[in-house]
A and B are shown apart, each in its own frame.
Chain A
Amino acid sequence: NAGVMQNPRHLVRRRGQEARLRCSPMKGHSHVYWYRQLPEEGLKFMVYLQKENIIDESGMPKERFSAEFPKEGPSILRIQQVVRGDSAAYFCASSPGRSSGNTIYFGEGSWLTVV
């Protein structure tokens, strides 16, 4: 049973470009979470999605950031017009839901560097 798959592992973008990060949840998991990790700031919740629905996006910046989890295919975190402050590690996690006691399983992360 493959784990949570994230790609790309490393991404370099120039200021103003777009970044797309992909996440395939574990088999059987219908819940996807995105977190951002900055040095010395820990793990910050961004968004929680279920298939075709955004359940909680309280941690998403109001502009330039969007997320989707379509019926088919991976979840996508999209950052438009990237700025240097967007440089961070972005982690995706998945869960089968409350039947697992809310346990979530993380991918290896995508490291975004904005130059």
Chain B
Amino acid sequence: AQSVTQLDSQVPVFEEAPVELRCNYSSSVSVYLFWYVQYPNQGLQLLLKYLSGSTLVESINGFEAEFNKSQTSFHLRKPSVHISDTAEYFCAVSDPRQDKIIFGKGTRLHILP
């Protein structure tokens, strides 16, 4: 069975500082990996995904994540955060042979002025 661990439930960071949100997964097969973002009182929006190919994937708003197979990680990073990045971020994993996606518990990103 697959699982996702997001080690930090909350991450405070000052505006314009860099941030890393950690995600580790467990799976005995190859995986698809996702990061979703949820703004207050809204649904989840896809931020970026890894399906195959380049291990570094980027989003349009400056986030990036790197698939590390040896460490079974898919950490999300941004070099300089903005107040508008305040949200909850969910890492997710999927088995390409199946249609179910498993989510982590989420990490709440607090941007400090």
Contacts and interface: CB of A to CB of B under 8 A. Distances in A.
A45 B103 contact: yes
A33 interface: yes
B43 A31 contact: no
Nearest to B46: A103
Interface stretch (B11-19, B61-69, B72-80, B93-101): B93-101
A43 B42 contact: no
A104 B94 CA distance: 11
B105 A95 contact: no
Contacts of B59: none
B46 A101 contact: no
Main DSSP-derived SS at the A contact region: strand
A10 B100 CA distance: 26
B44 A106 contact: yes
Given A95-B99, A101-B32, A108 B106 contact: no
A103 B34 contact: yes
Size class of the A contact interface (CB-based, 8 Å): 20 to 34
Interface string B1-37: 0000000010000000000000000000000101010
A42 B105 contact: yes
A42 B46 contact: no
A42 B99 contact: no
Contacts of B51: 101
A25 interface: no
Interface in B87-113: 90, 94, 96, 98-106
Leading 3 A-B pairs by shortest Cβ distance: A42-B105, A106-B43, A43-B103
9 contacts: A6-B43, A41-B105, A43-B44, A43-B103, A43-B106, A44-B103, A102-B32, A102-B94, A106-B45
Given A42-B105, A102-B96, A106-B44, 20 more contacts: A4-B43, A31-B99, A33-B101, A40-B9, A42-B103, A42-B104, A42-B106, A43-B103, A44-B103, A48-B100, A101-B32, A101-B49, A102-B99, A103-B34, A103-B46, A104-B101, A106-B43, A106-B45, A109-B42, A109-B43
